[in-house]
Chains A and B, each alone.
Chain A
């Protein structure tokens, strides 16, 4: 995995000017939004499983990022910083959204016990409803597995950054990812 480029200031990375945003919705902020919103929205959508909630979360994440721009220390990639805000926001939303808690049925031990052929390719014949199928599969996984898979799918993130975002060691991330992939494959095959 390529080492991510670090930026000292989220709005200056990398083609942005060092000046603070003169007009909030234009210039550097526009670029920041265009570059990262797809990833923030996708993480939110597949985490909470509801497009309307994901819209709200994406809006709030960028608003929060704007408000806390001065707190960004440049010790991580901008994407990682935005992901951290997104993960925290999703967790807050999920805590207050009872319906979501009822749907989530993932049990890591139960899933680990089932032998899934994780090496077999994931075949998709019906592209039209692929998003729904992926959502259904992710919903069946434990929250931790879901988050790890969504983060590792972003090639910009290193294992170390994923470990930092999920507050565990890189080795733990690797081990859990192996189980998460197996669990996903099993659920995905079931939904075909």
Chain B
């Protein structure tokens, strides 16, 4: 049931129209503003993901690689752990 008086109804309509108008203005002016070059580049970096193909290629390449030698401290602690 619509209990609005004609005056209230008009006010609601005006408010709705105002909101739509504001949204349209915001949409037209949509864009970004960066305070510094660094900020712009950081944003660009976030938009630039490395292609998944690199990880796949790397996986294949690394599987063909010989296992790297362990450093002295890794061998030392591995030896102690097995004692």
- A39 to B45, Cβ gap below 8 A? yes
Within 8 A of A (CB), among B8-53: 30-42, 44-45, 47-51, 53
With A25-B59, A122-B33, A153-B41 known to touch, is A41 a contact of B50 (CB < 8 Å)?
yes
Q: Is A42 an interface residue (CB 8 A)?
A: yes
Total contacts A-B at CB 8 Å: 118
**Cβ of A173 under 8 Å from chain B:** no
In the complex, the answer to whether B48 meets A122 with C-beta atoms within 8 Å is: no
Chief secondary structure at chain A's binding surface: helix
> Known interface pairs A37-B50, A67-B68, A149-B41. Does A121 touch B34 (Cβ–Cβ under 8 Å)?
yes
Asked whether, in the complex, the Cβ of B38 is within 8 Å of the Cβ of A25, the reply is no
Say yes or no for B74: interface residue by CB 8 A criterion: yes
Number of interface residues of B (CB under 8 A): 38
Give the docked Cα–Cα distance between A24 and B44 (Å).
30
Specify which chain A residues have a CB less than 8 angstroms from the CB of B51 in the assembled complex: 51, 55
The distance in angstroms between the C-alpha atoms of A153 and B39, with both chains bound, is 7
Q: Which residue of A lies closest to B61 (CB)?
A: A63
A122 to B38, CA, bound (A): 11
* B61 lies within 8 A of A153 (CB): no
Contact B58 A124 (CB under 8 A): no
Task: Kindly list chain A residues whose C-beta atoms are within 8 Å of the C-beta of B39.
Answer: 122
- Whether B65 contacts A63 by the Cβ 8 Å rule is yes
CB distance from A76 to the nearest CB of B (A): 17
From B40, B42, B77, B78, contact of A122 by CB (8 A): B40
- Decide: B65 and A67 in contact? CB cutoff 8 A: yes
Q: List the 6 closest A-B pairs by CB distance, nearest first.
A: A24-B62, A25-B59, A41-B50, A153-B41, A125-B31, A122-B34
Known: A122-B37, A153-B38. 16 other contacts (CB 8 A): A37-B54, A42-B44, A45-B48, A63-B58, A69-B68, A122-B35, A125-B31, A126-B31, A131-B44, A134-B40, A134-B44, A152-B38, A153-B45, A155-B42, A185-B37, A188-B40
